[in-house]
Structure 1
Amino acid sequence: MDEVEIVVAHSERATLRVGDVFLKVDADQARVDTEVEAMSLAPVPTPEVLWRRPPVLAIAALPGTTLGRLGGPSTGSPAAWAAAGAAIRRLHDAPPPPWPGRAGRSAAALAAELDEECGLLVANGVLPADLVARNRRVAEAALRPWTPAFTHGDLQIAHVFVDGGEVTGVIDWSEAGGGDALYDLATFTLGHQEHLADVIDGYGTDVDLDVIHAWWSLRSLLAVRWLVERGFDPFAPGCEVDVLRSLM
C-alpha cells in the first residue's frame, strides 16, 4: 500500500502525495479555478488533472525530476537549465490569460506593499536595517512599466520537471496570469544565480539583468516574514536571506 507523503502544508493549503497521485487541498476555490484554467491554456507540459472534488484537486505525477530546490544544490545540467529557459519563453510568448496573476501587480501597489514590509522587517528586528535599505534600493528597478505576458507567477525550480535536456512538465499554476515576464525568470533563478546565463541562453533574447536582480530583492523582502510565520526558514543557507546578502 502506498504511503501518504506530505509535500507541503501550511494554513492556506496542503499538498499530499499518494503513489503517482498528488492531492492538493485548498479552501480558496478561486485559486484552484485559476490553476486548472491556466494549465489548460499553457503551451508547456502540465500535469494531467485526474479529478476535482472541492476542496481537493487530484493531479498525476510528472515524469522526470526537478532541477533542485531553493537552499539546495542544483541537480540539473546546463542543458537542462537552458531547456527550462526555452520552455519559459514559449509560455511568455503565448497570449496572456484575461486575468492578472501574481506577477501582474501594479508598480504602485508593489511599492506600497514593499515599503510597509520593509518597515515591519526593521521594526520587528527580523532583518538589519542596512540589509533592508540596500535591497529596497535594488528592488526599485522592478517598479517600471512592462508588457503583460503569460506568467506562471510562482516559477520556483521545484515546480519544473526535466528529463535530460527536455522539460517534462510544470506544476503549481495557482498564481498564473498576465504579468511581468522577468518576474518568472527571477523566481526561477532565485538562489541559483550561477545558472542565470544558462536560462537566458535558452530563453533566447536579451534580458535586463538589473530588473532580474531587483526581483530577487523584492521577492525575498516580501517573503521573509510570510515564511517565518508559516514554519519555513528563509535564513537557511542559500535561501531568501542569503539572496538579500548577496545583493549588498
Structure 2
Amino acid sequence: MDEVEVVVAHSERATLRVGDVFLKVDTDQARIDVEVEVMTLAPVPTPEVLWRKPPVLALAAVPGTTLGSLGGPSTGSPAAWAAAGATIRKLHDAPLPPLRGRSGRSIAALTAELDDECELLVTNGLLPADLVTRNRQIAETALRPWTPAFTHGDLQIAHVFVEGDEVTGIIDWSEAGQGDALSDLATFTLGHEEHLDDVLAGYGTDVDLDVIHAWWSLRSLLAIRWLNEHGFDPFAPGCEVDVLRSRM
C-alpha cells in the first residue's frame, strides 16, 4: 500500500501524493477550473488529468526531478537550466489564454498591494524599515507597462521537472494566464541567481535584467507575510528574506 505524502498543506488548499498520483484539494473551484483549462492550452509538458471530483483534482506524477528548491541546493547541468529557459520561452510565445493571471494585475493594483504589504511588514515588526524601503525602491522598476504573455504565474523552481537535459513537466497552474513574462523568469530563478545566465541562454537574450532583479524584490516583499502566517519560513537560509538582504 502506498503511503500518503503531504506535499503542501495550508488553509487554502492541500496537495497529497499517493504513489504516482497527486491529489489536489481546493475549495476554490475557480482556481481548479483555471488549472485544468490552461494545462490543455499550454504548449509545454504538463501533468495528465486523471479525474476530477470537486473539491479534488487527481493528476498523474510527471517523470524526473526538480532542479532544486528555494533555500535548497540547485542541481542539474547548465544544459538542463537552458532547457528550462527554452521551455519557458515556448510558453511565453504561445497564443494568449483567455484568462488574466496573477502577474497580469494592473500596475495600479500591484502598486497598491505592494505598498500595503511593505507597510505591514514594518508595522508588524517582521522586517526592518531600511530593508523594506531599499527593496521597495528596487521593485519600482517592475511596475512598468509590459506586453502580455502566456505565463505560469507561480513558476517556482520546484514546479519544473527535468530528466537529464529535458524538461518533462511543469506543475501547479492555478495562477496561470496573461501576465508579465519577466515575472515568470524571476520566480524561477529566485534564490538561484547563479543560474540566471544559463536560463537566459535557452530563453533568449532580449531580457531586461533590471526588471528581473526588481521582480525578485517585489515577489519576496509580497510573499513574506503570507508565508509567515501559513506555516512556511521565509527567514530560512536562501529564502525570501535572504533574497531581500542580498539587494542591500
TM-score by length of 1: 0.99
Matched positions, count: 248
Could you list the structure 1 runs, at least 4 aligned residues long, displaced by more than 2 angstroms after superposition.
none
CA distance in 1, matches of 2:247, 2:77: 25
Aligned-pair CA distance for 1:111: 0.6
1:4-15 superposed matches below 5 A: 4-15=4-15
1:16-165 superposed matches below 5 A: 16-165=16-165
Partner of 1:176: 176
CA distance in 2, matches of 1:231, 1:158: 18
Is 1:227 the equivalent of 2:227? yes
Is 1:245 the equivalent of 2:228? no
Amino acid at match of 2:149: A
SS of the residue 2:207 aligns to: coil
Aligned-pair CA distance for 1:194: 0.4
Structure 1: gaps (5+ residues): none
SS of the residue 1:131 aligns to: helix
Aligned-pair CA distance for 1:157: 0.6
Q: Kindly provide the CA deviation profile for residues 25-59 of structure 1, in whole angstroms up to 9, marking residues without a partner as x.
A: 00000000000000000000000000000000000
Aligned-pair CA distance for 1:76: 1.5
CA distance in 2, matches of 1:76, 1:29: 36
Identity of aligned residues (%): 84
Amino acid at match of 1:108: A
CA distance in 2, matches of 1:4, 1:99: 33
Q: Kindly provide the CA deviation profile for residues 127-185 of structure 1, in whole angstroms up to 9, marking residues without a partner as x.
A: 00000000000000000000100000000010000001100000000000000000000
Amino acid at match of 1:207: V
Structure 2: gaps (5+ residues): none
Aligned-pair CA distance for 1:204: 1.6
Amino acid at match of 1:236: A
- State the superposition RMSD in angstroms: 0.5
Aligned-pair CA distance for 1:196: 0.3
Amino acid at match of 1:109: A
SS of the residue 1:57 aligns to: strand
CA distance in 1, matches of 2:107, 2:142: 8
Aligned-pair CA distance for 1:106: 0.9
Q: Kindly provide the CA deviation profile for residues 191-246 of structure 1, in whole angstroms up to 9, marking residues without a partner as x.
A: 00000000000002321011001100000001000000001000000000000000
